[in-house]
Structures are given as structure tokens and as C-alpha cells.
Homo-oligomer: A and B are copies of this chain.
Amino acid sequence: MADQGVAALLVCTEPEVRYFTGFHTPFWQSPTRPWFTVVPPAGKPIAVIPSIGAATMSATWIDDVRTWSSPNLGDDGISLLVECLREVAGTDGRIGLPMGPETHVRMPLADLDRLRSIVGDFVDTTAIIRSLRMVKSEAEISKHRRICAIVSDAFAVLPDLLSTAMTERQAFAAFRGEILSQGADDVPYLVGATGPGGIDDIIRQPSDRVIEPGDLLIFDTGSTFDGYFSDFDRNFAFTHATHDAKDAYQAVWEATEAGLEAVRPGVTTTQIFEAMNAVLEGYGSLGNDVGRMGHGLGMQVTEWPSHTANDDTPIEENMVLTLEPGLFWAPGKAMVHEENLVVRSTGAELLSRRAAPDLPII
């Protein structure tokens, strides 16, 4: 903040507020109330929040909790926020707000415009937040390790839970229940699909489609322990699979190996992308529509950075990352693998238990 001449930093989304305060509640799903946290150049952050959150916020490390009764159609916290920003930044100090990629401002645009008309334009502080959140503490890493172990255990017993003649909806419910019974706090993200001989879409919700012999299945889950995510997938075939499907599986498995080899402090996300992409091209990939081959992982199911052809983010020790190579191996048939890791001085330390090298058949 000092380097950028920022006198106060304002954040207003769930992960940002939680990052600075520890305030952890699913209450954010209600769009009704805005929540603010002001980070001063020195000392603890200040919470400027609806009074319904006062007790939960007061149980965190934050001492200064300022509240108003929300919803208030006339002034939903803006005056209280302005007062706090002026107190911290003075009348002419620059106020920072994340405005760049992967951010948004969680308050009504009319209120944001009013706020800007009072305190002036904000300085973009995406880089500050991004640099803090991309590198994890050992406390954060231990939460990632725990949820990745839980989901690995759930994937390990999945072949015993699933069978042909189940519907997708039943398969999702069985897997979600298993993850929870293994000790996850929640399964906020679960997508997947089944398809005859292959899958055209990897972000779908379940249908009543019945699983049949010859189907492929993908499950991709972001599950949480104490507010930190896993994010990896597994692929299965039922009763049998084609040679081409097995080849596609091998391609993404080997691309993941290349990614794991490439990860170490000092390389870039682009180099990791290139290592994986070279393997896929060797297998005759028809490209993919994901736009990247993995990403950061943390309090959100995806975080900065992205492994793309031009992201070029330098990898640092204690980043938690996914590797997620994917390809279309035939028109409309996608195969995606994903693993989770933490970057150590010597290279990648896997957090997810490595997928089987050959397509598992149930």
C-alpha cells in the first residue's frame, strides 16, 4: 500500500472480507445487504457491516466493528463507509479497490457511483490482494491438504457406490453424501456428466439420464474444509471403454505428469501450460474450450493465476495450484484431468491422491 501510495484499501466480496477478517458465513448468498472492510496502512482492518453480522464478526480477530441496521433503502451503509474511509485515508488520501481480472464490486452500482461521487475515483489494488492471496500460509495449506485427502478417499470408494441403471441425479447424491460422510464441511461445487462413449460438457448439473454400459462419467468437485477448497476431477467408464477414450485418458494423465515435472518456483504459468500442451498436441488434441489448463486454489474454487499461453505469472513457493489439462479427443467429446498441489522449493507436492494411470472401469 505504501509503494502504491494507497491510504486505505476497501474490499466488499466474501473471500476478500474473509481473508482480512476471518468472517466466515454462507450468509453472503443473500444479496440483500452490502458488507465492507477497510484496511488501513497499519493496524487491524475495520469492519463496516450490517448489524446482523456483528456477533459473528466480533468473534474474529477484528476489534473495530461498525454496524448499521440493514436493509436500509435510503442509505445502506454508504454514509458509515464514507466516514470510515475519511477517518483512515483523510480527505485526500487515495483509496484502493480491486478492479481487475477475477474481481467485482459487490454493492449496487447506484451506491458505488454515489460513493465515487463522494470519495473520488478509486485506485486499482488488484495486484496487492492478488499477491497476498496467491501464496498460502502453512495453516491454509493444511486445510487444503485435509479436504484433498477427504475427496481422494471419497473418489476411492466411488466405484463401489456407482453402477449402471442409476440416474445421474442418484450418482451425484451418492458422491456428495460420501464426501460429506468422509468429513468435508460442504460440497459447494459439484459438476459432472455421463455420456455414451464420451462427454460433451463438463460443467453440467445432473439430469435423470440413466447410466448405461459404455458410458463415460466425469465428476469434478470443489469441496471445502474450514472454508478452503479442493478442486479436482476423476473420470470413469462403465463396463467397457473404446480404445480412443482410453487414449484420451492417457493423454491428459501424461500431460498432468509433464505439468507436475514443470512446477517449481521461478517458472511461469505459461511454461507449465506449454509443458502440458505439448503432450496434448502430441496426442492429436482438437483443442479445448476451457481457456486454461489449471489455476490457483484457495478460499475460492478458482483463484489467480491461470495456466494459459500468455498468463506469464511467476510461480512462487507455497502457491496452491491445480493442473487441469483437457482436450477434445473427438468432435463433442471432452476429457479433462485435474490434480491439486502446493509448490515447494523442490517442486510440486501433490495434495490430491494421483489419478490412476489407466481409465478406471466400473
Contacts and interface: CB of A to CB of B under 8 A. Distances in A.
A118 B103 CA distance: 21
A205 to B, nearest CB: 5
A189 B177 CA distance: 16
A91 interface: no
B31 A104 contact: yes
Interface residues of A, number: 76
Interface stretch (A158-166, A240-248, A290-298, A343-351): A290-298
A3 B33 CA distance: 29
Contact of A71 (B50, B108, B110, B306): B306
A324 B338 CA distance: 43
A100 interface: yes
A285 interface: no
Contact of A104 (B26, B104, B185): B104
Given A25-B203, A181-B177, A301-B30, A110 B102 contact: no
Interface stretch (A37-45, A52-60, A141-149, A258-266): A52-60
A123 to B, nearest CB: 11
A71 B101 CA distance: 9
A167 interface: no
Contacts of A27: 189, 191, 203
A31 B300 contact: yes
Interface in A72-91: 72-73, 76
A53 B110 contact: no
A52 B290 contact: yes
A361 interface: no
A303 to B, nearest CB: 8
Contact of A300 (B30, B289, B300): B30
A362 interface: no
Interface string A10-42: 000001000000001111011111000000000
Contacts of A254: none
Interface string A161-198: 00000000100010011001100011111110000000
Contacts of A187: 186
Given A25-B204, A101-B108, A291 B72 contact: yes
A124 interface: yes
A222 interface: yes
A105 B112 CA distance: 10
20 contacts: A27-B189, A27-B191, A29-B188, A29-B301, A30-B301, A31-B102, A31-B303, A32-B295, A50-B291, A51-B289, A52-B203, A53-B203, A59-B204, A73-B311, A99-B109, A102-B108, A104-B109, A105-B105, A177-B181, A186-B187
Interface of A: 15, 24-27, 29-33, 50-56, 59, 67, 69-73, 76, 97, 99-110, 112-113, 122, 124, 126, 169, 173, 176-177, 180-181, 185-191, 200-201, 203-206, 222, 289-292, 295, 300-303, 306, 308, 310-311
Closest 8 CB pairs between A and B? A55-B201, A99-B109, A30-B302, A51-B289, A99-B110, A27-B203, A31-B102, A25-B203
Given A55-B200, A105-B109, 8 more contacts: A25-B204, A27-B203, A31-B303, A52-B203, A54-B289, A100-B108, A169-B185, A177-B180
